[in-house]
């Protein structure tokens, strides 16, 4: 007996494309009219209590008197649109096992290092409250950090991101630490730098290659008049012109890395984002530069920022509008990830390191004494194993009854672990779910539109030459990647 999976979604887009999606297999099938009607019949037949026999489903497949591909039913079974008893539970266990296996890999140490929490800006929406803390990581703490890394005996690779505060205020410590790390004998992954860009001058740019920094994120919040009202120096002075001059030098230099320009978008600057983005892309004119919208999440108690911030629903509506009206895809596209990835917060060998050597599980915890999980100089380094464990396993969505009842759990991974943890502690966090919970069909529709546009397949649902099978096919990203632009009429997978 088989039944319609509770993780299956069958719908028709506003433009008339028929789709059936399953979150367990993360598969998306596109159907022509006849196959769509056949799937609707299967949905009705298999939706009965206890499901239906596959033979009966096969007989019902063509009950409409139309030419239905006999391969459609096996495909629906293969992609878990239709499931047998216990098949969903077993697939969820496999998902959970894969999540745990990924989370507990010990071959990589991933560090986000804040060599200082001081900042030379006073941005009104910043969630950190340590801008006035002028401490810079000492040489002694740097030595403890190196010993801390060595303590991960199974580690073979080291991944780094420089963060703050403003990390360029502690540039000499970044150089010192990089030199020490290179002597550890680990595979040194390309490093990243998150900076406001104000001090990223020609001297520092010339040292990026030696520091193995290959990705840089800089924030510009719009044209000068907009940016300079939001991202200011401690005395209120402007910052836009100097940052842009530095970016000009960066992209004209021998540095071959990738630059991401983040534009923090809220109600006050959303209207100028698209034009500003286009100006920057024309100015730099290279695929090594990406300009994207960033979501501002107000800190608890920050009513001014909360009043102008876009809520989760508004943010996702903006993402969709940017695609449909301007052709902008989010950095990771609209399709759900095939293997829901965790983050530094849920990786036992991933840490955020503060300037005093304090350890955190999440970027957003930096500077919050209540969220410190340990110290690189301590033995053992994790001094609050309970908090660390709450991040690692306490936020596991597969142990949450609400998540287990959600029809996008397999691709959601529970949303933001930090927000889940804070919600468990009774703190106001807003929506910590992934966008797929409330916007799945809209995201899949946008994905399909981009897919069809990219592959120049506007007419793929047109009837094929005589003798070809009726139209359905798998259009998930894996199929798109393997097709190489040579797609045939809908003919299954």
Residue in this structure with the two tokens 């591909």, named with its chain if needed: 69
Contact at 8 Å (CB) between 318 and 289?
Answer: no
Edge-to-edge, what's the strand order for the sheet holding 8-12? 8-12, 18-22, 27-31, 472-474
Q: What is the pLDDT of residues 49-61, one digit of tens each?
A: 567 777 777 776 7
142 CB neighbour count, 10 Å cutoff = 19
pLDDT tens-digit readout, 412-449: 888 888 888 888 888 876 677 888 999 999 999 999 99
Q: What are phi and psi of 478, to 5 degrees?
A: -60, -40
Half-sphere exposure of 234 (CA within 13 A, CB side): 5
Report how far residue 2's alpha carbon sits from residue 61's, in angstroms, rounded to the nearest whole number.
Answer: 14
pLDDT tens across 441-472, in order?
A: 999 999 999 998 877 544 444 544 443 445 89
- Please give the C-alpha separations between residue 429 and each of 144, 306, 372, 420, 421, in angstroms, as whole numbers: 34, 12, 19, 8, 9
Q: Which of 186, 133, 183, 197 is nearest to 158 (CA)?
A: 186
The per-residue pLDDT for 341 is 56
CA distance 290 to 479: 26
Cα 450-272-222 angle, rounded to 5 deg: 105
Q: Which of 193, 120, 127, 187 is nearest to 158 (CA)?
A: 187
Rounded distance, CA 39 to CA 356, Å?
A: 60
Could you identify the residue written with the tokens 């809908």?
Answer: 490
**Burial annotation 218-245 (CB, 10 A radius, 16+ → b, else e):** bbbbbeeebbbbbbbeeeeeebbebbbe
Confidence of residue 400 (pLDDT cuts 50, 70, 90): confident
- DSSP letters for 327-339: -PPPTT-SSPPSS
CA 184 to chain centre: 30
Q: Are strands 8-12 and 82-84 parallel, antiparallel or unpaired?
A: unpaired
Per-residue confidence band for 299, with pLDDT thresholds at 50, 70 and 90: low
Break the chain down into helix, strand, coil percent, rounded to 5. Answer: 40, 15, 45
Rounded Cα distance between 63 and 57, Å, is 10
Strands (DSSP E) found in 329-447: 350-353, 358-360, 374-375
- Rounded distance, CA 444 to CA 465, Å? 29
Q: Are 412 and 403 in contact (CB under 8 A)?
A: yes
Give the tokens for residue 219: 């924030």
Strand partners, 210: none
Compute the mean pLDDT over every residue in the chain, rounded to the nearest whole number. 87
**What is the gyration radius of the CA atoms in the chain, in angstroms?**
25
Q: Which residue has the higher pLDDT, 376 or 398?
A: 376
Q: Which of 413, 411, 393, 399 is nearest to 348 (CA)?
A: 393
Residue ranges per structural domain of the chain: 2-85+456-483, 107-375
Residue 131, pLDDT score: 57
Of residues 457, 482, 485, the one with CA closest to residue 471: 457
Higher pLDDT, 55 or 85: 85
Q: Contact 116/332 with Cβ under 8 angstroms?
A: no
| C-alpha span between 208 and 206 (Å, rounded) | 6
pLDDT greater at residue 279 or residue 456: 279
- Average of per-residue pLDDT across 114-135: 82
User: Sorting pLDDT into bands at 50, 70 and 90, what band is 174?
Assistant: very high
Measure CA of the first residue to CA of the last residue in the chain; give whole Å: 24
Q: How far apart are CA 325 and CA 337, in angstroms?
A: 24
393 in helix, strand or coil?
helix
The predicted model gives 461-489 an average pLDDT of 54
The model's pLDDT over 140-163, given as tens digits with 9 standing for 90+, comes to 999 999 999 999 999 999 999 999
Instruction: Mention every residue, 6+ apart, whose C-beta is less than 8 A from residue 62.
Output: 38, 68
Q: What does the DSSP 8-state code read for residue 468?
A: P
Task: Report d(CA 408, CA 413) in Å as an integer.
Answer: 9
- Reply yes or no on whether the pLDDT at 64 is more than 80: no
Judged by average pLDDT, the poorest of 135-149, 292-306, 338-352 is 292-306
Considering the domain delimited by 107-375, tell me its CATH architecture. Answer: Alpha-Beta Barrel (3.20)
Which backbone phi and psi does 55 adopt, to 5 degrees? Answer: -65, -45
Structure tokens at 94: 């496999």
Q: How far is CA 14 from CA 19, 317, 444, 448, in A?
A: 11, 16, 12, 12
* Exposure of 128 in the CB half-sphere (CA atoms within 13 A): 24
Percentage with pLDDT > 90 across the chain? 60
Q: How far is CA 432 from CA 311, 317, 487, in A?
A: 11, 16, 38
């Amino acid at each position: 007996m088989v039944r319609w999976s509770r993780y299956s979604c069958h719908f028709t887009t506003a433009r008339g494309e028929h789709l059936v999606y399953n979150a367990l297999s993360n598969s998306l099938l596109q159907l022509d009219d006849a196959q769509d009607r056949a799937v609707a019949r299967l949905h009705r037949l298999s939706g009965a209590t206890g499901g239906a026999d596959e033979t009966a489903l096969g007989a019902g497949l063509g009950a409409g008197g139309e030419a239905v591909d006999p391969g459609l039913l096996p495909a629906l079974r293969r992609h878990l649109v239709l499931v047998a008893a216990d098949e969903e539970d077993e697939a969820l266990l496999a998902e959970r096992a894969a999540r745990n296996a990924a989370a507990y890999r010990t071959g990589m140490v991933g560090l986000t290092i804040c060599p200082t929490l001081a900042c030379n800006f006073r941005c009104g929406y910043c969630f950190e409250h340590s801008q006035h803390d002028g401490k810079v990581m000492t040489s002694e703490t740097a030595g403890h950090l190196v010993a801390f890394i060595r303590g991960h005996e199974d580690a073979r690779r080291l991944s780094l991101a420089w963060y703050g505060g403003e990390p360029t205020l502690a540039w000499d410590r970044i150089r010192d630490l990089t030199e020490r790390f290179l002597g550890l004998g680990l595979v040194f992954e390309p490093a990243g730098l998150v900076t406001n860009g104000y001090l990223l001058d020609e001297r520092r740019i010339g040292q990026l290659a030696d520091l193995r920094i290959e990705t840089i994120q800089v924030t510009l919040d719009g044209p000068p008049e907009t940016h300079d009202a939001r991202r200011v120096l401690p005395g209120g002075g402007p910052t836009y012109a100097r940052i842009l001059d530095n970016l000009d030098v960066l992209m004209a230099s021998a540095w071959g890395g990738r630059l991401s320009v983040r534009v923090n978008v809220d109600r006050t600057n959303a209207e100028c984002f698209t034009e500003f983005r286009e100006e920057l892309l024309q100015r730099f004119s290279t695929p090594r530069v990406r300009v994207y919208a960033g979501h501002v999440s107000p800190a608890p108690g920050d009513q001014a920022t909360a009043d102008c911030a876009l809520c989760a629903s508004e943010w996702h509506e903006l993402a969709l509008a940017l695609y449909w009206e301007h052709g902008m895809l989010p950095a990771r596209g609209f399709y759900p990830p095939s293997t829901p990835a965790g983050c530094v917060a849920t990786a036992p060998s991933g840490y955020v390191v503060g300037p005093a050597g304090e350890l955190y599980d999440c970027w957003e915890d930096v500077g919050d004494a209540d969220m410190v999980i340990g110290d690189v100089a301590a033995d053992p380094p994790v001094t609050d194993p309970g908090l660390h464990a709450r991040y690692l396993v306490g936020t596991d969505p597969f142990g949450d009854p609400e998540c287990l009842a959600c029809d996008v759990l397999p691709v959601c991974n529970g949303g933001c672990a930090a927000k889940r943890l804070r919600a468990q502690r009774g703190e106001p966090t807003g929506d910590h779910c992934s966008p797929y919970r409330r916007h799945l069909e809209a995201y899949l529709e946008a994905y399909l539109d981009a897919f069809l546009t990219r592959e120049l397949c506007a007419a793929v649902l047109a009837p094929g030459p005589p003798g070809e099978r009726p139209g359905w096919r798998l259009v998930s990203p894996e199929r798109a990647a393997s097709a190489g632009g040579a797609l045939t009429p809908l003919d299954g997978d």
